[in-house]
Structure 1
Amino acid sequence: MTRLRLAGLLLTAAPLALALPAAGQAQPAPNRTLRVAPHADLRTLDPVFGSIVITRMHGLMIYETLFAWDSKLQPHPQMVESVSTSEDGLAWRFRLRDGLRFHDGQTVTTRDVIASLKRWMARDTVGLKLAEYTAGLEAEDERSFTLKLRKPTGMVPFALGSAVGQIPVIMRESDAATDPMKPVTETIGSGPFRFNRAEWRSGARVVYDRNADYVPRAEPADGLAGGRVVKLDRVEWTIMPDPATAAAALQTGEIDIWEQPGQDLIPVLSRSRDVRVERYSSLPNQGMLRPNHLYPPFNDPRARLALAYATDQADFLAAGFGDEQWWKRCGSYFVCGSPNGTEAGAAPYAKPDLETARRLLAESGYKGEKLVLNSSYDIAPIGRMAEVAAESLKKIGMNVEVQFADWGTVTTRQQNRNPVDQGGWNLFVTTASGATMQSPITNIGTNMACERAWAGWPCDAEAERLRNAVVEAVDEPARKAATEALHRRLAEVQPYRVLGQYDQPYARRVNISGVLEAPVMVFWNIEKK
């Protein structure tokens, strides 16, 4: 085995830092309680089962991954101490760092790692893609294991550090070995926080206590990478679905951080001398209108194209995010301004063409059947954009009924593959982080691998062939050419309607510092003075 040469192997050219510093640093003395108003209630506890952001935030509190992305979305070792690869690139050998322990005191072993990776590879967009290249996972001893590939790919560290979709957290073997199609309800990880189940009140409060036994890496924190040094006693999430209530609580000091403040209240918060409004991600987020590809009319690409011709991104973005300073039109599935932000093939859908939309809808065989658009006002922009979707689609003859529920119910229903009359759905509006959508590997909506795809289950062999070409590209020009070809195909088959992109700031009290730039908000490194 030789030490790994990673520059140029990943989808981006930046190098990875793979060396573990000599020793971890001890946790600092406990500080205070951080009170946060998150964007949604926590319903699903398993970050390998659910891809929603609130579950991912929860997962990163209590679990760890083998690698972790920094603020530039580059992977660095997290649970891994060292990594090497064979000359032919088909064998990757990993050694876990010393001192990894689960919250119940058990040592983290390669048995836990292998069971966890296999479960993730059965669930996630990135994991499924890595599984296509994987020939096997073999434990060498308690701390070392080998990932064997069928053919070389440079995506391995990037994938194992994925912070989007269903993340590859390492669970106890007993939890990870369960049915991947059913959520794990245990919450025993090895991360810097412990889930306080006794104080969890669904719809009201989620509590995390500092894990005093956790030993962070010695590097400075950078995004999700580096030392996860906890400087607080505990973190409390207080569920505040009413934006006015959350705004008032932040201004009076009842809460310290509002993770996703309502856009219409940002001017008010910005004028408060005790509050700061800032961004914690350099990439904008993306809005999407997702159809269910399993049933008519959206099993026909002509009906999906009708969605694109019938909708104006500006209508959605203005309704969801207010002032245009916070949003922009963009036809790229992979986020304008990102390394992969091509708009190839998307020009015809830049502005509505209702006549073409009506023609395509008729050609698809649609005859006015009721269509259910599943949504929630728990996340106000999503609810408002759902209303815009319904009105836009009615203009071309779609019989759309918006059915509102709490966000937990909405996301649970999204997994239902049954017809509408058996609890299924036809459409939903949602948003996703720029970190999720910027890469053909991580973009959950452009995975068109049929039953292995994300909710909506699009199926297109040509798109999958082109996505594989991106993964296997040997250099930057080849990757860019492959990404453009893929994007042209996606524009033709429309796995979802891109609704443009927007910036989502957070708001904090002035005595809070250390919030990291990351794909989702995390709570290590934060100080409360």
Structure 2
Amino acid sequence: MKLFKRRGIAALSAIAITLGLAACGSGGGSSSSAAATAKDGGTIHIALTANVTSLDPLINGAYVGRDTMRNIYEGLVSLKQNGEVGPVLAKSYSVSKDNKTFTFKIRNDVKFQNGETMKAEDVVASLQRWVNVSQFGQTWFTGSTVTSPDPDTVVLQSPKPMAAGLHLIADPGRMAAIMPKSVIDAATPTGVKEYIGTGPYKVKEYVQDQKIVLTKWAGYKSPTGKPDGYVGEKTPHADNLEFDIATDGNTRLAGTLSGQYHVGYALADSLYSQIKSNNSVHVETDPMIDAMVFNKKQGVFANNQKLRQAVLAAMDMTAVDKAAHLNSDLYTVDGGLMPKGNPARSNVDLEKYNHPDLAKAKQLVKDSGYNGEKITLMTTKDYQSMYNASVEFQNQLKALGLNIELKVVDWGTAMQQFFVPDQWDMATTSWSVPADPLGFSFFQKTGQGWNTDPAFFEIADEINASTSPEQQKAGYDKLQKWYLDYVPGIIITHYKQINAVSNKVAGYQNGMQGPAYYSMQLKQ
């Protein structure tokens, strides 16, 4: 997008939070590791908090999967550390003045992990599948065509202006991964049958609920340029990356402290002090957002805006955040869609957030017609903060007179049941800060909660048709106002997810949406 020279809508998402992370040890891994002590070869062991249910990035949007698949797949473009777009499999790209035509000049030196050379037909098939299957594609690019006017060029043509389009294509959360056309042609509604990308590591072993082993791809052709977020040169050093499923956080930390693992991923806030005080590891953090999402397809919250408003009006978010994250260094009580300091940030109507008014909330419940029906709140103990927040939600909403019942499942099950409408009424979840606020999952037609409100899409069209920063900012103000009135979900907090990284490895690299493990090395 051109309005802010891509204006850091995501840039300050990353910067505003990431600058604050230095105080708690973020970013220390790659810069503090001495290159002279690093070596090539060996296996890097990463302990994951939850099962990776699929290695198809269009099917699995969970960040535990995203951060694994980032090593296997690449897109035409991705995000720099500051949130701007940069090339990966594209040599160059351009967006038309009307923000409808996205033109990519593709690299001719890229091979897939099956040895085949990447061609325009592979890119066309991959992008068309992304348009048809992914949340972003289905919500924003319906009716788009993907063509190749010559062997070096691929064009995505949108029927309507998409000023945020390039960032949505680049967003790693729903990666527009390029795969061989043969793999795309053989895909079923449940995903691709072969996991073949262009990334620095390829799949060696995938055992559901146990482990994923990736091995270095000898034929990898890296993009050029200084490494920056998920763009620039990528140099894989380890022979293998092994991701072990260890759902218990104490196990992940103990294994990292003992040397069994090199990274303990997504640890509970209660372990923060222990990690900081141990000289064998250091803390790395990822900016995240906790949220409560409402099922708007069926159940008590579907077509019942007043009941959703009642929940928002009742909630003491300070108490929820404190229960969820324990350590005040790790969270900010904030209901804004984007972090403070971000160009897309809006403070409109924030008085509706964290100003609990039980009398108002009870009146909204009465007006909603709610009659004591059971409300299923789905959560998981795989991420302790989500479970703790859910318990506090349950306690507060019972005081409001709502019949809340917790449904506790593992995270892999939650990721599947998020898209099964008869399995839940409200659910806790978390996301990375999106490249653009239109990228939130609870705004997507097929995303968590099934948002199909026409008013939202009118506002989104206004944002995407903007021709000046002022028009765009006015659009984001309308978006924030709509979100706090329609209440598709509630942002609980902006927080820092903590990872323990062993000092026996170098090259741990962060981007604005989680780590890039492909650059890591063992140290002598």
- Same fold, judged at TM 0.5 (above): yes
Moved more, 425-434 or 507-516: 507-516
Quick check: 1:411 aligned with 2:420? no
Greater share of helix residues, 1 or 2? 2
CA contact (8 A) 2:40 2:521 kept: no
Match of 1:137 in 2: 146
Match of 2:429 in 1: 430
- Alignment equivalent of 1:474, drawn from 467, 482, 496: 467
Following superposition of structure 1 onto structure 2, how do residues 230-379 of structure 1 map, counting pairs within 5 Å? Answer: 230-279=236-285, 281=286, 284-299=287-302, 300-379=304-383
Counterpart Cα distance in 2 of 1:370 and 1:402: 10
Identity, in percent, stands at 22
SS in 2 for 1:517: strand
Quick check: 1:525 aligned with 2:519? yes
One-letter amino acid matched to 2:510 = E
Deviation at 1:77, TM superposition (A): 0.8
Give the 3 Å change call, closer, same or farther, for CA 117–11 of structure 1 in structure 2.
farther
Give the 3 Å change call, closer, same or farther, for CA 359–296 of structure 1 in structure 2.
farther
Deviation at 1:150, TM superposition (A): 3.5
Give the 3 Å change call, closer, same or farther, for CA 521–88 of structure 1 in structure 2.
closer
Counterpart Cα distance in 2 of 1:129 and 1:214: 33
Moved more, 222-231 or 171-180: 171-180
Quick check: 1:194 aligned with 2:202? yes
Deviation at 1:143, TM superposition (A): 3.2
Counterpart Cα distance in 1 of 2:241 and 2:190: 28
CA contact (8 A) 1:221 1:525 kept: no
Match of 1:22 in 2: none
CA contact (8 A) 2:161 2:464 kept: no
Counterpart Cα distance in 1 of 2:463 and 2:415: 30
Match of 1:71 in 2: 81
One-letter amino acid matched to 1:289 = M
One-letter amino acid matched to 1:292 = N
Match of 1:108 in 2: 118
Quick check: 1:31 aligned with 2:55? no
Following superposition of structure 1 onto structure 2, how do residues 69-108 of structure 1 map, counting pairs within 5 Å? Answer: 69-84=79-94, 90-108=100-118
SS in 2 for 1:332: coil
SS in 1 for 2:274: helix
Match of 1:162 in 2: 171
Counterpart Cα distance in 2 of 1:187 and 1:80: 21
Counterpart Cα distance in 2 of 1:243 and 1:90: 46
The C-alpha deviation readout for 1:346-401, integer Å capped at 9, x for no partner, is 21232221222222122111111111112221222112222222222111111111
Counterpart Cα distance in 2 of 1:322 and 1:265: 10
CA contact (8 A) 2:335 2:490 kept: no
Counterpart Cα distance in 1 of 2:234 and 2:263: 19
Number of matched pairs: 495
Deviation at 1:245, TM superposition (A): 1.7
Match of 2:17 in 1: none
One-letter amino acid matched to 2:468 = D
Deviation at 1:483, TM superposition (A): 0.5
Deviation at 1:343, TM superposition (A): 2.4
The C-alpha deviation readout for 1:163-200, integer Å capped at 9, x for no partner, is 12x22111222332466743224211111111112xx3
Counterpart Cα distance in 1 of 2:339 and 2:96: 35
Counterpart Cα distance in 2 of 1:131 and 1:46: 20
Quick check: 1:120 aligned with 2:130? yes
One-letter amino acid matched to 1:441 = L
Greater share of strand residues, 1 or 2? 2
- Alignment equivalent of 1:214, drawn from 214, 217, 220: 220
Quick check: 1:386 aligned with 2:383? no
Counterpart Cα distance in 2 of 1:225 and 1:294: 38
One-letter amino acid matched to 2:278 = S
Give the 3 Å change call, closer, same or farther, for CA 414–264 of structure 1 in structure 2.
same
CA contact (8 A) 1:63 1:191 kept: yes
Counterpart Cα distance in 1 of 2:484 and 2:409: 31
One-letter amino acid matched to 2:190 = K
Match of 1:492 in 2: 485
Deviation at 1:490, TM superposition (A): 1.4
What do you get for the CA RMSD once the two structures are aligned? 2.3
Counterpart Cα distance in 2 of 1:9 and 1:153: 15
SS in 2 for 1:295: coil
Structure 2 gaps of 5+ residues are 12-37
Deviation at 1:128, TM superposition (A): 3.4
The C-alpha deviation readout for 1:246-289, integer Å capped at 9, x for no partner, is 2211111111111222211111121111111133x4xx311111
SS in 2 for 1:196: strand
CA contact (8 A) 1:344 1:484 kept: yes
One-letter amino acid matched to 2:196 = I
Structure 1 gaps of 5+ residues are 16-27
Give the 3 Å change call, closer, same or farther, for CA 180–340 of structure 1 in structure 2.
farther
Counterpart Cα distance in 2 of 1:430 and 1:14: 20
- Alignment equivalent of 2:441, drawn from 435, 440, 444: 444
Counterpart Cα distance in 2 of 1:266 and 1:297: 38
CA contact (8 A) 1:125 1:441 kept: no
